[in-house]
Structure 1
């Protein structure tokens, strides 16, 4: 039996070199083909289809705004980065992006639904129906009628929920809520559209609602006692333990000390007037004057 002779060393080296060269060429061709395929202009993003109920934006302006910022083509585009670019546009709350072969994107858009302004009058921020604060320009008549929430950062959802609970409670006051404010000490304040200010005080939501309910129930009778209606309300302070302080348009109120001082002054004046009248009555005399004339 003949044993096969091993190939000479130079032959083995040549075979190895040939194999390596073949593999390198194959990898190079594959890489070049992939590079050409991925960079082919035919796969550049050329179509963006926008879906969703859009009120404050329109698909054309959205595409024009976002398309220049998208990096890559159909195959290399980072969908998460594209999602963030769409969500950075004002009024866009959420975006879902998917590829559509061969060169398109389909984008599902959800807009913010504005419920209130947030912060000071000059602030461009709003609160959506999830209690999230976002920055956008209010451009519709309906948006300009939104209430304003002013409070500490991170409390927007709590304040929106409080607004929703107090809104039906103030209907008997014949003026809707224009502003809800919460200070750093946890004290709540309302301002109605007619300018009336109601200090609700601090405490749990139940406590605040109880104080407002008592006020709304009793203030029409109090106003009627002064010949006024509830729409004459200027301010109310509900932070009292067993009542509230009230100011009505056209009704002048003074402190207890001032009222007592005025009553004392009025009594003293009346006493002086009475004394002067009596003195005049006692010191009065009758004088008869004769007119010269002929004797009868």
Structure 2
């Protein structure tokens, strides 16, 4: 004769007993988790996890390690566990000449910081006269222009957000004027996008608006014919206006404005 399966033990328990057992198990788990959280908080507050050292690598040409630490440390709050890495990165990036910082924790109480400095490519003129600098990415940043020893840096000026385009245009236009044995000292863009340049001789050139290729081509045609005009009058260039459809107008020293060449 077949034996009947034995009934499950938990099935025999009343419903309220099963509920009490489940509640007790849940409370036990919560108690263990709470105890673990308390122990973790207690351990995290121990002096061993206070930040004791910061290792700084990367670009430190413009600032000494001591200067970087002195500028950033007052803005670092917390220990190894509680330190906000985003705010720490912002603190280091607020140091003059620092473009980018990568901050990492090193167990149990140190930070590793890798820095990238701005590499200056131009000066940036503002209406307020508080000049700034432009890095090789075309980004405007604040630093002391007096820290820059390169006297050949061009000055760029224009609306907000135009610095990257102006830097690219300068790199394309400077070789164009090189045959004149002159250098672009200032390249400026108006609010309407009209471009003008000042050479190191003091001559001013109104280039006008257009795409980058159109601007380069316009200046190339001007430079190709200007030596003939200058040789004819034996006077240096003072001002040129390339915004004419059928040519350009020039003013030479001691000579009134005249039309010249086809643009």
TM range (shorter): 0.7 to 0.9
Q: Which one has the largest radius of gyration?
A: 1
Kept in 2, the 8 Å contact 1:201–1:239? The answer is yes
Match of 1:245 in 2: 249
Quick one: distance in 2 between partners of 1:177 and 1:90? Answer: 28
1:208 maps to which of 203, 215, 220: 215
Quick one: distance in 1 between partners of 2:113 and 2:59? Answer: 12
Change in CA separation of 1:252 and 1:21 when aligned onto 2, cut-off 3 Å? closer
TM-score by length of 1: 0.72
Question: Could you list the runs of 5+ residues in structure 1 that have no partner in the other structure?
Answer: 1-14, 257-296
Kept in 1, the 8 Å contact 2:206–2:243? The answer is yes
Match of 2:133 in 1: 126
SS of 1:131's equivalent in the other structure is coil
The structure 1 segments of at least 4 consecutive aligned residues displaced by more than 6 Å after TM superposition are 18-25
The structure richer in strand per residue is 2
Aligned residue pairs, count: 243
Shift of 1:21: 9.7
| More divergent stretch after superposition (30-39 vs 108-117) | 30-39
Match of 1:147 in 2: 154
1:49 maps to which of 55, 69, 81: 55
Quick one: distance in 1 between partners of 2:205 and 2:69? Answer: 47
Q: Does 2:243 match 1:236?
A: no
Kept in 2, the 8 Å contact 1:52–1:108? The answer is yes
Shift of 1:161: 0.8
SS of 2:113's equivalent in the other structure is strand
Kept in 2, the 8 Å contact 1:200–1:208? The answer is yes
Kept in 2, the 8 Å contact 1:124–1:136? The answer is no
Change in CA separation of 1:35 and 1:240 when aligned onto 2, cut-off 3 Å? same
Kept in 2, the 8 Å contact 1:115–1:146? The answer is yes
**Please, what is the CA RMSD of the aligned residues?**
3.0
SS of 1:167's equivalent in the other structure is helix
1:108 maps to which of 100, 109, 114: 114
| More divergent stretch after superposition (19-28 vs 121-130) | 19-28
Kept in 1, the 8 Å contact 2:198–2:204? The answer is yes
Match of 1:186 in 2: 193
**1:98-150 Cα distance to aligned partner (Å, 9 max, x none):** 11112111111011111112232722322211111222212334355421111
Shift of 1:62: 0.7
Shift of 1:241: 2.0
Q: Does 2:82 match 1:79?
A: no
> Within 5 Å, which residues of 2 pair with 1:142-291?
142-143=149-150, 145-228=152-235, 232-249=236-253, 251-253=254-256
Quick one: distance in 2 between partners of 1:58 and 1:174? Answer: 39
Q: Does 2:71 match 1:60?
A: no
Kept in 2, the 8 Å contact 1:138–1:144? The answer is no
Change in CA separation of 1:23 and 1:182 when aligned onto 2, cut-off 3 Å? closer
TM-score by length of 2: 0.81
Quick one: distance in 2 between partners of 1:141 and 1:20? Answer: 67
Quick one: distance in 1 between partners of 2:40 and 2:170? Answer: 58
Kept in 1, the 8 Å contact 2:124–2:132? The answer is yes
Change in CA separation of 1:241 and 1:19 when aligned onto 2, cut-off 3 Å? closer
Shift of 1:20: 9.8
Question: Could you list the runs of 5+ residues in structure 2 that have no partner in the other structure?
Answer: 1-20
SS of 1:171's equivalent in the other structure is helix
